[in-house]
């Protein structure tokens, strides 16, 4: 993503807390019009097929009212080329990631999941004729509303949550939403380091590396630490696996032990062992979620 264009879009969909649920269609169109390529973003005359910098940003309330229940209204700004529209269809490849910032747990929701028993399966991405030069260079943009569902409970049982959206190989910005009405019930239970993880030496860079056996590395700076059943502390992280047009994405929760004085934690995981009953096959994109801080994608082929 173009840093300047992306930052502009993030500011565009940052509204007052109460404005998200009241926005009109006219206001959405006005916001969307501001995503039109301008200045240096525009391809030079006659440059058929040249694409403008993409944009993928979200906005959501910085806090909810005490006692809030239900779905949090939010906005999504998206700018893509005609080629991208053909390569990655929106509906089966959009996934909301919600992280509970009290315990570090995260959950995924795909808002456009199709019930194949009742509805026809939509065409797959990259099906049909490939766009010509004019279609490839066309630009589609706009702002649309979406809802962040209460994946941890209707009453949003934490003091804060983080929301990001994955659009296959695109990752949005993260939004932190506070819940000032939450009353903390007391200390969390200790967590047990994952048996699936084998020790690895940190290299000082958060993210994922490797292929069938993937190294997971997380920075402890800003990471939520939990007490470990084996003594000391541990950090819960989540590895999210995305495949093109697969609406039911998979994720695995890991707990990495913290060594005294360490700035990073790391471990290796065998992807085949993580899903023994339904092994992953083909091209996969992996994302790492550490306390709402998401990195990726890391591409592997299995």
| 207-222 burial code (b ≥16 CB/10 A, e <16) | bbbbeeebbbbbbbee
Average pLDDT (151-164) is 96
Q: Which of 123-127, 174-178, 209-213, 277-281 has the lowest mean pLDDT?
A: 277-281
Any residues with CB less than 8 A from the CB of 114 and at least 6 apart, and which? 91, 92, 121, 122, 247
Point out which residues pair with 178 in neighbouring strands: 63, 160
Q: 20 is written with which tokens?
A: 């998200």
Average pLDDT (110-127) is 75
Q: Which of 69-83, 113-127, 161-175, 224-238 has the lowest mean pLDDT?
A: 113-127
Report domain extents, the chain.
Answer: 3-178, 198-296
Give the Å distances, CA to CA, from 43 to 4, 20, 137, 142, 254.
Answer: 17, 33, 9, 19, 45
Q: Hey, how many other C-beta atoms are within 10 angstroms of the C-beta on 148?
A: 23
Strand residue runs (E) in 85-131: 94-100, 106-109
Could you tell me which CATH number the domain at 198-296 has? 2.60.40
Give residue 41's pLDDT. Answer: 76
Confidence class for position 116, pLDDT limits 50, 70, 90:
low
Query: How many residues are given for the chain?
Result: 302
Do residues 193 and 255 make contact, with C-beta atoms less than 8 angstroms apart?
yes
Give residue 118's pLDDT. Answer: 57
Q: Hey, how many other C-beta atoms are within 10 angstroms of the C-beta on 49?
A: 16
Do residues 54 and 84 make contact, with C-beta atoms less than 8 angstroms apart?
yes
Q: 291 is written with which tokens?
A: 């306390």
pTM metric for this prediction? 0.94
Is residue 48's pLDDT more than 60? no
Q: Which of 105-114, 156-165, 169-178, 234-243 has the lowest mean pLDDT?
A: 105-114
Give residue 43's pLDDT. Answer: 67
Do residues 12 and 77 make contact, with C-beta atoms less than 8 angstroms apart?
yes
Q: 280 is written with which tokens?
A: 């992953």
Give residue 93's pLDDT. Answer: 95
């Amino acid at each position: 993503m173009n840093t300047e264009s992306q930052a502009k879009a993030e500011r565009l969909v940052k509204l007052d807390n109460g404005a998200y649920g009241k926005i009109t269609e006219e206001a959405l169109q006005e916001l969307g019009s501001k995503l039109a390529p301008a200045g240096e973003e525009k391809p030079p005359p006659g440059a058929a097929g040249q694409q403008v910098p993409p944009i993928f940003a979200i906005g959501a309330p910085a806090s909810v009212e005490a006692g809030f229940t239900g779905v949090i209204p939010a906005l999504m700004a998206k700018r893509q080329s005609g080629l991208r529209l053909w390569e990655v269809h929106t509906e089966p490849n959009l996934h909301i990631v919600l992280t509970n910032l009290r315990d570090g747990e995260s959950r995924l929701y795909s808002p456009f999941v199709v019930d194949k028993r009742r509805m026809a399966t939509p065409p797959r991405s990259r099906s049909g004729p490939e766009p010509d030069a004019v279609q490839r260079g066309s630009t589609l943009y706009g702002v649309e509303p979406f809802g962040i569902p209460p994946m941890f409970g209707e009453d949003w049982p934490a003091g804060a949550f983080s929301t990001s959206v994955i659009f296959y190989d695109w990752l949005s910005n993260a939004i932190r939403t506070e819940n000032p009405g939450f009353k903390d019930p007391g200390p969390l239970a200790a967590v047990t380091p994952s048996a699936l993880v084998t020790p690895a030496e940190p290299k000082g860079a958060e993210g994922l590396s490797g292929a069938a056996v993937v190294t997971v590395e997380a920075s402890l700076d800003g990471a939520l630490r939990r007490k470990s059943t084996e003594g000391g502390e541990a950090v819960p992280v989540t590895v999210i696996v995305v495949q093109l047009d697969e609406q039911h994405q998979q994720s695995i929760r890991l707990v990495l032990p913290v060594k005294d004085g360490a700035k990073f934690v790391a471990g290796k995981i065998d992807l085949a062992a993580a899903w023994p009953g339904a092994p992953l096959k083909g091209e996969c994109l992996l994302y790492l979620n550490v306390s709402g801080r998401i990195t990726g994608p890391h591409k592997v082929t299995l």
